[in-house]
C-alpha cells in the first residue's frame, strides 16, 4: 500500500534525503474536544494564526515529559504539530518525485501539506510515507501540519479504553490500559523528505542462505515505481555485492528486472555476537537501474536509480527442538527491552541506542525481544551490525475481546512489521503478541486465523509469542506457534519473597509446556522490581540482594533445563527501568531493570554478565 514506508530512505547519486527533525510547533487541543482542530480547521493556516497558544516541541521525542505541564503529560486526545520546509525548484526541473516519510508517530496521524490532506496512518512504531509532489510548492515555503491522536480503544493495537470521568473541575477523559508501560505519544522517530527519480526501485525483498562449501546465496526480488516505463530490452539492473572494504565480490546484470540470485564464494557469514570473532559482518548490496540504447547495449547506459542497502548473509532454520543459524543450534541469552528514556520518552535517540548496544555487549547478551512493539529502524540496523539477534514483536500486548476488526488490525500491524524488517539478518523470529488473554475460548479462532495469515508472509522466520496463562493446557494460542515462549514471575507475582520457590516451579513449568506442545521452549520474562541502592541482608523484596538471589535461583533452573535439547533461551525482564502509568505498585515506573533508566548497572548486572559470558564461551 502507498501509505506504508518500505525502503529506509538512503542517499545515492540519484536520491536526496533531507531531515525535517528539529523544533516544531505544538498545539494541544482541548482535552474534552479532540476534534477541535478539525472543526476550527487548524490545517488551513499556521497554528500561530489560531488564537490558541503554541509551544515549541522537539522532533523526534514524545511530547509528554519535555515540559512541566501536567495536562500535556497526561493529555488524552489530539495534539497538532507544524513546521515549515522548502522544496528546491531543481526537484521539479529534474523531474524528481518528492516523498514525505515518518519513522513513527504514536498513535494515529493525519498529515496535511499546505492545508491539503496528504496521508494518514493508524499504528504507533511503524513507518508511513506518501508522495507529496502534488501538494508542495517548489522554490518556496511549505507548511506541514500533523494531528496526532493518542487514544486507544478496543480495536487499536494495543487496546485501551477512554473513560469519561467526573473530577473536581467537571468532566475529564481518562485513558486506561492494562499494559505496563507509559502510553507516550508524539512524533517518535525521524521525519524525512526524500526524492526518487520518476522510475525508481520502490521495494526490495531479500533472502539469504549459506551452503556447506562456503557459498553464500542471495535471492532478491525488486519492485519499481512507474514500472510501466521499464522494458526487458531497454532496461537492466546491475546488482553488485561489496564487502566491508568496498570491493565488489559478486555481481550480475539482470534483464528480467524482477527476481535474481547472486552467489558469493568464500562468503563471510553473519554471526551473532560471541559466536564468531567477527560478529555482524555486513556486506553492501547495490542495485543500479539503467536504461540502454538498444543499438549498443551497456556502452551508452544511463543510470536511472541507485539504491544500496546493508546485508548480512546467513541461513536460518528451525525444527521442533530448536533454532539454527548457519547450521548451529542457538541458545539465546537475552532481554526484554523498551524504547524508553528520561525526557524524550519513546523518542529516537541514537546516543541511547549506542549505549544500549554497548551494554548488551558488555554483559554478553546475544539477543533481545522488541517488547512490546517494533523498535526503530536505526536500532534494527545496529542489531545487524553488532550481531544481536532480534525477536521482533508487533504492538499487540494484553489483547482481549477478540473480534474481527481487531483481528484485521492485528494482521495489518504484523504485515507492516514484517514488510519493514524482513531484510534484517538479525531478525530470527516474529513475536505475534505479548500476554494476550489466551485462556478465553474466543482466542482460539482468532489466533488460528492470525497465525495462518502471518505464516504466509513470515519470510523464513518462525512464529512465537509470550504467553502468561498459568497452565499450558489453557493457552488457546500456543498450539499455532513454532517456538513457545512464556513469562513467569516466580518469587515476585507468584510467592513474593519466596526465593526458595523458583528452581523447581520454573523447571517443571518449562517441561510442562514442552510436553504439551512438543516445540522449542524459551523463557521470555522473569525478574523482580529492584530499587538501586537499596540493600538488605538477608535479601528482602525490592533490594539489590533480592534481585541477585532471584536471578541466581533462575539460573539453577535454566542450567537444568539446558540439559534438555529443546530449551532455547532465557530473557530477563527487563534490560532497564522504564516509565509506566501511575499506579500504587510502581515507584517511579517499573524497576525490574538490570540497568537503571539512565543505563547504569544494578548489582545483578555483574552476576548476569558472568553467566552470559560463561554461557557464550561454554565455560
Ligand atoms: C509482564 C509484561 C510486562 C510487564 C511485566 C511486569 O508480564 O509482559 O510488560 O512489564 O510483566 O513487570 O509486570
Distance CA 131, CA 358 (A): 37
Q: How confident is the model at residue 232 (pLDDT cuts 50, 70, 90)?
A: confident
390 to 5, 217, 384, 557, 589: CA distances (angstroms): 21, 22, 9, 24, 25
The pLDDT of residue 3 is above 50: no
For residue 541, the model assigns a pLDDT of 97
Q: How confident is the model at residue 328 (pLDDT cuts 50, 70, 90)?
A: very high
For residue 619, the model assigns a pLDDT of 74
Could you report how far apart the first and last alpha carbons of the chain are, in Å?
A: 50
What element of type H or E holds 92? helix 89-93
- Our mutation pick for probing the ligand 1 site, out of 398, 468, 490, 573, counting the most ligand atoms within 8 A of Cβ, is 573
For residue 6, the model assigns a pLDDT of 79
Distance CA 290, CA 574 (A): 49
Task: Supply 332's cell numbers.
Answer: 539465546
pLDDT digits (tens, 9 = 90+) for 493-512: 999 999 999 999 999 999 99
The pLDDT of residue 295 is above 90: no
Q: What is the mean pLDDT of residues 228-255?
A: 95
Task: Give the 3-state DSSP-derived string for 329-373, with helices as H, strands as E and coil as C.
Answer: ECCEEEEECCCCECCCECCCCHHHHHHHHHHHHHHCCCEEECCCC
pLDDT digits (tens, 9 = 90+) for 507-527: 999 999 999 999 999 999 999
Q: Report the separation in Å between the CA atom of 436 and the middle of ligand 1, taken as the mean of its atom positions.
A: 12
Reported as half-sphere exposure (CB side, CA atoms, 13 A), residue 392 has a value of 33
Q: Report the separation in Å between the CA atom of 561 and the middle of ligand 1, taken as the mean of its atom positions.
A: 23
- Our mutation pick for probing the ligand 1 site, out of 467, 487, 494, 584, counting the most ligand atoms within 8 A of Cβ, is 487
Q: How confident is the model at residue 316 (pLDDT cuts 50, 70, 90)?
A: very high
Instruction: Kindly list the structural domains of the chain, giving each domain's residue range(s) and its CATH number in brackets, ordered by start.
Output: 17-150+185-196 (2.60.120.260), 199-311 (2.60.40.10), 325-616 (3.20.20.80)
For residue 298, the model assigns a pLDDT of 63
Packed helices 404-421 and 442-456: angle between N→C axes, nearest 10 degrees: 30
Q: What is the DSSP string of 108-134?
A: EEEEEETTEEEEEE--SSS-EEEE-TT
CA of 592, closest atom in ligand 1: 12
Task: Supply 466's cell numbers.
Answer: 509470550
ipTM of this predicted complex?
0.99
CA of 371, closest atom in ligand 1: 9
Whether 141 is a known active-site residue: answer: no
Residues in the chain: 619
Q: How confident is the model at residue 294 (pLDDT cuts 50, 70, 90)?
A: low
Q: Report the separation in Å between the CA atom of 159 and the middle of ligand 1, taken as the mean of its atom positions.
A: 16
User: Measuring from atom 9 of ligand 1, which residue has the nearest CA?
Assistant: 180
Task: Supply 138's cell numbers.
Answer: 517548489
66 to 57, 59, 343, 432, 599: CA distances (angstroms): 8, 11, 5, 32, 19
Q: How confident is the model at residue 143 (pLDDT cuts 50, 70, 90)?
A: very high
Q: What is the DSSP string of 211-236?
A: ETTTEEEEEEEEEEETGGG--TTTEE
With a CB cutoff of 8 Å and minimum separation 6, the contacts of 416 are 4, 123, 126
Q: What is the mean pLDDT of residues 314-333?
A: 97
Q: What is the mean pLDDT of residues 77-95?
A: 97
376 to 8, 163, 379: CA distances (angstroms): 11, 31, 5
**Regarding predicted confidence, which is higher, 293 or 128?**
128
Residues with CB under 6 A from ligand 1: 180, 372, 434-435, 468, 487, 525, 573, 590, 592
Distance CA 616, CA 387 (A): 13
CA of 493, closest atom in ligand 1: 13
pLDDT digits (tens, 9 = 90+) for 344-397: 999 999 999 999 999 999 999 999 999 999 999 999 999 999 999 999 999 999
pLDDT digits (tens, 9 = 90+) for 151-163: 999 999 999 999 9
The pLDDT of residue 246 is above 60: yes
CA of 179, closest atom in ligand 1: 9
pLDDT digits (tens, 9 = 90+) for 268-287: 999 999 999 999 999 999 99
Tell me which of 129, 377, 435, 525 is the catalytic residue.
Answer: 435
* Average per-residue pLDDT for the chain: 96
For residue 2, the model assigns a pLDDT of 38
Cβ–Cβ < 8 Å for 410, 454: no
Amino acid at each position: 500500500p502507498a501509505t506504508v514506508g518500505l525502503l529506509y530512505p538512503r542517499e545515492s547519486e540519484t536520491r536526496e534525503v533531507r531531515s525535517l527533525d528539529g523544533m516544531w510547533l505544538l498545539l494541544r487541543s482541548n482535552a474534552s474536544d479532540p476534534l477541535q482542530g478539525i472543526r476550527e480547521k487548524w490545517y488551513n493556516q499556521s497554528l500561530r494564526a489560531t488564537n490558541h497558544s503554541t509551544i515549541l516541541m522537539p522532533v523526534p521525542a514524545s511530547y509528554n515529559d519535555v515540559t512541566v505541564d501536567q495536562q500535556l503529560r497526561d493529555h488524552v486526545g489530539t495534539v497538532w504539530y507544524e513546521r515549515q520546509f522548502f522544496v528546491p525548484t531543481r526537484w521539479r526541473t529534474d523531474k524528481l518525485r518528492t516523498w514525505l516519510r515518518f519513522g513513527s508517530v504514536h498513535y494515529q496521524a493525519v498529515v496535511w501539506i499546505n492545508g491539503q490532506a496528504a496521508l494518514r496512518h493508524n499504528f504507533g512504531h511503524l513507518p508511513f510515507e506518501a508522495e507529496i509532489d502534488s501538494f508542495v510548492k517548489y522554490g518556496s515555503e511549505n507548511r506541514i501540519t500533523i494531528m496526532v491522536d493518542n487514544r486507544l480503544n478496543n480495536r487499536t493495537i494495543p487496546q485501551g479504553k477512554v473513560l469519561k470521568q467526573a473530577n473536581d473541575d467537571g468532566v475529564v477523559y481518562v485513558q486506561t490500559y492494562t499494559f505496563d508501560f507509559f502510553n507516550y505519544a508524539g512524533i517518535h522517530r525521524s521525519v524525512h523528505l526524500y526524492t526518487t527519480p520518476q522510475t525508481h526501485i520502490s521495494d526490495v525483498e531479500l533472502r539469504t542462505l549459506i551452503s556447506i562449501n562456503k557459498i553464500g546465496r542471495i535471492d532478491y526480488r525488486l519492485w519499481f515505481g512507474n514500472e510501466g516505463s521499464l522494458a526487458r530490452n531497454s532496461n537492466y539492473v546491475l546488482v553488485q555485492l561489496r564487502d566491508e572494504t568496498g570491493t565488489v565480490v559478486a555481481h550480475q546484470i539482470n534483464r528480467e528486472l524482477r527476481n535474481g540470485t547472486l552467489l558469493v564464494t568464500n562468503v563471510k557469514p553473519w554471526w551473532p555476537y560471541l559466536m564468531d570473532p567477527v560478529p555482524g559482518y555486513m556486506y553492501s548490496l547495490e542495485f543500479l537501474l539503467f536504461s540502454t540504447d538498444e543499438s549498443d547495449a551497456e556502452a551508452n547506459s544511463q543510470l536511472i536509480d541507485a539504491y544500496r542497502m546493508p546485508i548480512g548473509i546467513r541461513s536460518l532454520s528451525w525444527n521442533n527442538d530448536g533454532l539454527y543459524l548457519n547450521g548451529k543450534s542457538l541458545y539465546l541469552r537475552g532481554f526484554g527491552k523498551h524504547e524508553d528514556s528520561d525526557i524524550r520518552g519513546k523518542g529516537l535517540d541514537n546516543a541511547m541506542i549506542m549505549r544500549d548496544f554497548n551494554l548488551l555487549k558488555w554483559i554478553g547478551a546475544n539477543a533481545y525481544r522488541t517488547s512490546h512493539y517494533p523498535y526503530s529502524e536505526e536500532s534494527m540496523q545496529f542489531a545487524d551490525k553488532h550481531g544481536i539477534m532480534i525477536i521482533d514483536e508487533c504492538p499487540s500486548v494484553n489483547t482481549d475481546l477478540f473480534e474481527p476488526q481487531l483481528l484485521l488490525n492485528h494482521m495489518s500491524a504484523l504485515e507492516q512489521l514484517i514488510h519493514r524488517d524482513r531484510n534484517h539478518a538479525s531478525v530470527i523470529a516474529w513475536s505475534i503478541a505479548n500476554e494476550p488473554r489466551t485462556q478465553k475460548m474466543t482466542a482460539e479462532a482468532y489466533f488460528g486465523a492470525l497465525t495462518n495469515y502471518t505464516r504466509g508472509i513470515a519470510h523464513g522466520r518462525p512464529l512465537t509469542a509470550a504467553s502468561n496463562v498459568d497452565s499450558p493446557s489453557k493457552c488457546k494460542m500456543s498450539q499455532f506457534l513454532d517456538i513457545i515462549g512464556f513469562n513467569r514471575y516466580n518469587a515476585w507475582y507468584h510467592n513474593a519473597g519466596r526465593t526458595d520457590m523458583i528452581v523447581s516451579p520454573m523447571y517443571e513449568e518449562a517441561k510442562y509446556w514442552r510436553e504439551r506442545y512438543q516445540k522449542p521452549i524459551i523463557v521470555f520474562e522473569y525478574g523482580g522490581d529492584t530499587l538501586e541502592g537499596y540493600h538488605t541482608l538477608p535479601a528482602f523484596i525490592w533490594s539489590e540482594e533480592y534481585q541477585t538471589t532471584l536471578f541466581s535461583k533462575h539460573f539453577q533452573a535454566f542450567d537444568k533445563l539446558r540439559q534438555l535439547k529443546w530449551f532455547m533461551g532465557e530473557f530477563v525482564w527487563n534490560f532497564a527501568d522504564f516509565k509506566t502509568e501511575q499506579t500504587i505498585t510502581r515507584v517511579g515506573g517499573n524497576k525490574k531493570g538490570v540497568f537503571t533508566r539512565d543505563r547504569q548497572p544494578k548489582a545483578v548486572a555483574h552476576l548476569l554478565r558472568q553467566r552470559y559470558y560463561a554461557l557464550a564461551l561454554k565455560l
